[in-house]
Amino acid sequence: MSLRRRRAVKLALRYVAAVALTVFFLFPIYWLFMISFKTADEIYAYPPVWWPSSLQLDNYLVLFRDGDAKTVWNSLVVAGTSTVIAMFIGTICAYSLARFRTGGEHLANWIISQRMIPPIAVVFPIFLLYVWFGLVDTYIGLILLYTAFNLPYVIWMMRGYILDIPQALEEAALVDGYTRWQVLWKVVFPMCRAGLFATAIFTFVFAWNDFIFALVLTRTEVTTYTVQVTHYFGGQSNFWAKIAAMSVLGTLPIFIVVGFMQRYLVRGISLGAVKG
Amino acid sequence: MADLKITGLHKYYGAVHAVRGIDLEIPAGEFTVLVGQSGCGKSTLLRTIAGLEDADEGTIEIGNEVVNDLAPRERDIAMVFQNYALYPYMTVYDNIAFGLRARKTPKQDIAGKIARAAEMLGIGHLLQRYPRQLSGGQLQRVAIGRAIVRNARLYLFDEPLSNLDAQLRDEMRGEIKRLHQELGKTMIYVTHDQIEAMTMADRIVLLRDGRIEQAGAPLELFEQPVTRYVAGFLGSPSMNFLDATLVAADGGLGVRLADGTVLPLPPARHAALAGYRDRPVTFGVRPDHIGRASPGDTRPGLARYSAVIELLQPTGSRTYGTFRVGSAEVVAELKAHDVSQVNERVELVIDMNRAIVIDPDSEKVL
């Protein structure tokens, strides 16, 4: 076989592998979207219906009519707010660790070790505390918790990105007349913008996907969509249409966010790979 | 008036004592070069002046004001960094304007100042580009531009040329010196390169292990070094050092080399050296003070030495010839055609007026 032929075959094999993997991973998502548009008959039909007869939105309308869709809003509020707070506090902490060697050599490692605590180990003590403080089933309660759980991750990632910034850039700004806070705003943030976005997305996704804390710490007021989905699994029957529609609603925001920030996401991940 | 006065300055990094008691006064308008090997504390000293490091002991005064407790931005300094420190996400114009904007300079003044600096540095056509689109030399010009648009009291340069290739470095050296003459500002320049120090400085401050070894005009350090270290640091190729003994010779004093040759010292040196008679000393002579003897050259203070040249290194205008005295190698800077082949025995003259005698224990020049 000529070199050129061999190259062509190799390329073809690669494409086949890529397509196969993509189909494998995308199929559940495709199936989820399809179910959300199906009628009850189509859901249980055998052989399965690959494409619903009509893209009817009844399953979604029910969620909005009953107020279940508000749980997606709850998730947005809780995940969004905790992400903003964690990013702000975390980046400042990371700056302090990276530039002033706050806490000596080991504080940074200790902080990331906090991330390794299994949520299930702390969720009940926290529940008792929250009962005491009246934080159960409140936005503030969940926001506090997600912020606390995401901080170690934000600090660790941002510390890596900040360490990558040449210190002379900051020193030049200090000499030129800027304060530390201005340096943070005018030099550090622009220099690690990709890292900021990538870290924020992962932070958001963690809070967005959380189930165990939301399950234990909410009742009716601030139920998140992950908990709401489980309400449709009944003792007698499962409401597959509602489960699928609610899951789609919960997936869409992530699709949108990642779609807009894909550029930063890829760059942020590869940047962090060096030192993160 | 002194623009900068440093008194009893000490700086520690943990257990490392980086700056060990520096006293220094730099008059207004002077170009001072801090020079020394890596780790001698020169960069630390500069960063402490800038306020990027805290002084552990001692005071720093800029324009008669103690600035120890002032933040860098309050010290009225401008600084050029080794790695340029330009912001990759800003155009050249914005990079240069960055410091002016911090000080709330009106927009029109900024444009005028940048135009003037750009013209001075020949970077007018680069203002709308980004740093990644520039060459090393252009980056360094921009970095210098960012410093000179600021009307600062003190300009600090931290090894600004060490990332450039040799030819560009020569060019920029001249340019920075010309800038200094045009602006008349007080500048402090750190380098490990003795040629940069010699060519640019009004005054050299030679540092060693966190202390000032010697400070003065370049030629003063070159011609009258106070220690063996200074004598060896400045000059290329560096000074030859030979173990010798100070002996009586021809009714005066001389140095006896390892091979027994006695080189008489000029009478002017006798008084200072009298106490060292019959004691071991180190004899120092620069390569360009050893030359081929020519008949009839009877200037006072020339000592003759017969040597076999073992190695010749022509550079074009000069040829470095290496010969041995005992086991030590000595380099002589000869004229291009003084010696035509190696292993030739030639008659050399050593200019004893320019040679130095060093106490081997204290390493001080006697």
pLDDT tens digits, B181-219: 988 999 999 999 999 999 999 999 999 988 899 999 999
CA–CA distances in Å: residue B43 to residues A147, B163, B189:
42, 16, 10
pLDDT value of position A271:
59
Going by pLDDT thresholds of 50, 70 and 90, the confidence category of residue A270 is low
* Side-chain-side CA neighbours of residue A107 (13 Å): 12
> What are B54-101's pLDDT values in tens digits?
989 999 999 888 999 999 999 989 999 988 899 999 999 999 999 999
Note whether B72 contacts A171, CB cutoff 8 Å: yes
Please confirm whether the linkage preceding A47 is cis (ω < 30° from 0).
yes
Q: Is the pLDDT of residue A171 over 90?
A: yes
ipTM exceeding cut-off 0.95 for this assembly: no
Which residues from chain B sit within 8 angstroms of residue A174, using beta carbons? Answer: 51-52, 71-73
pLDDT value of position B289:
92
The minimum CA-CA distance between A73 and chain B, rounded to whole Å, is 36
Question: Which pairing describes strands B186-191 and B154-158: parallel, antiparallel, or unpaired?
Answer: parallel
Q: Does A104 touch chain B (CB under 8 A)?
A: no
Name the residue among A166, A173, A175 with its Cβ closest to that of B77. A175
Instruction: Look up residue A243 and give its two tokens.
Output: 């489960």
Note whether A168 contacts B89, CB cutoff 8 Å: no
Note whether A173 contacts B98, CB cutoff 8 Å: yes
pLDDT value of position B164:
84
Distance CA A207, CA A223 (A): 13
Question: Which pairing describes strands B186-191 and B31-35: parallel, antiparallel, or unpaired?
Answer: parallel
Residue among B44, B47, B98, B51 nearest B71 (CA): B51
Which residues from chain A sit within 8 angstroms of residue B77, using beta carbons? Answer: 175
pLDDT value of position B86:
93
What is the dihedral angle through the alpha carbons of A259, A264, A265, A266, rounded to the nearest 10 degrees? 110
Residue carrying structure tokens 């900068």? B4
**Helix pair A70-100, A193-209: axis angle to 10 deg:** 140
Q: Is B295 or B315 the better-scoring residue by pLDDT?
A: B315
pLDDT value of position B327:
85
Neighbours of A37 (CB within 10 A): 21
The minimum CA-CA distance between B51 and chain A, rounded to whole Å, is 8
pTM for the predicted model, two decimal places:
0.83
The minimum CA-CA distance between A193 and chain B, rounded to whole Å, is 11
Q: Does A47 touch chain B (CB under 8 A)?
A: no
The minimum CA-CA distance between B274 and chain A, rounded to whole Å, is 54
Helices (H), chain A: 3-37, 40-44, 58-66, 70-100, 107-114, 119-133, 139-163, 167-176, 180-183, 189-191, 193-209, 212-217, 225-230, 240-275
Q: Does A139 touch chain B (CB under 8 A)?
A: no
Note whether A182 contacts B87, CB cutoff 8 Å: no
Name the residue among A168, A175, A190 with its Cβ closest to that of B72. A175
Q: Is the pLDDT of residue B344 over 90?
A: no
8 A C-beta contact, residue A52 and residue A37: yes
Which residues from chain B sit within 8 angstroms of residue A191, using beta carbons? Answer: 87-89
> What are B16-58's pLDDT values in tens digits?
888 888 899 999 999 999 999 888 889 999 999 999 999 899 9
Instruction: Look up residue A50 and give its two tokens.
Output: 């690959």
SS3 call for B275: helix
Q: Is the pLDDT of residue A118 over 90?
A: no
Q: Is the pLDDT of residue A266 over 80?
A: no
Which residues from chain A sit within 8 angstroms of residue B87, using beta carbons? Answer: 169, 187, 190-191
Question: Which pairing describes strands B203-208 and B31-35: parallel, antiparallel, or unpaired?
Answer: parallel
Q: State the Cα angle at B300 between B297 and B306, rounded to 5°.
A: 60
Burial class (CB in 10 A: 0-12, 13-18, 19+), A198: buried
Pick left, alpha or beta for residue B36 (phi over 0 → left; psi -120 to 50 → alpha; otherwise beta): left
The minimum CA-CA distance between A87 and chain B, rounded to whole Å, is 22
Q: Is the pLDDT of residue A198 over 70?
A: yes
The minimum CA-CA distance between A150 and chain B, rounded to whole Å, is 29
Q: Is the pLDDT of residue B286 over 90?
A: yes
Distance CA B63, CA B75 (A): 10
Helices (H), B19-130: 42-50, 92-102, 107-121
Pick left, alpha or beta for residue A10 (phi over 0 → left; psi -120 to 50 → alpha; otherwise beta): alpha
Give the least confident one: A43-47, A127-131, A162-166, A266-270: A266-270
Q: Among A15-29, A33-47, A237-251, B239-253, name the most confident range.
A: A15-29
Q: Is the pLDDT of residue B264 over 80?
A: yes
pLDDT value of position A183:
94
Which residues from chain A sit within 8 angstroms of residue B79, using beta carbons? Answer: 171-172, 175
pLDDT value of position A275:
42
Note whether A179 contacts B98, CB cutoff 8 Å: no
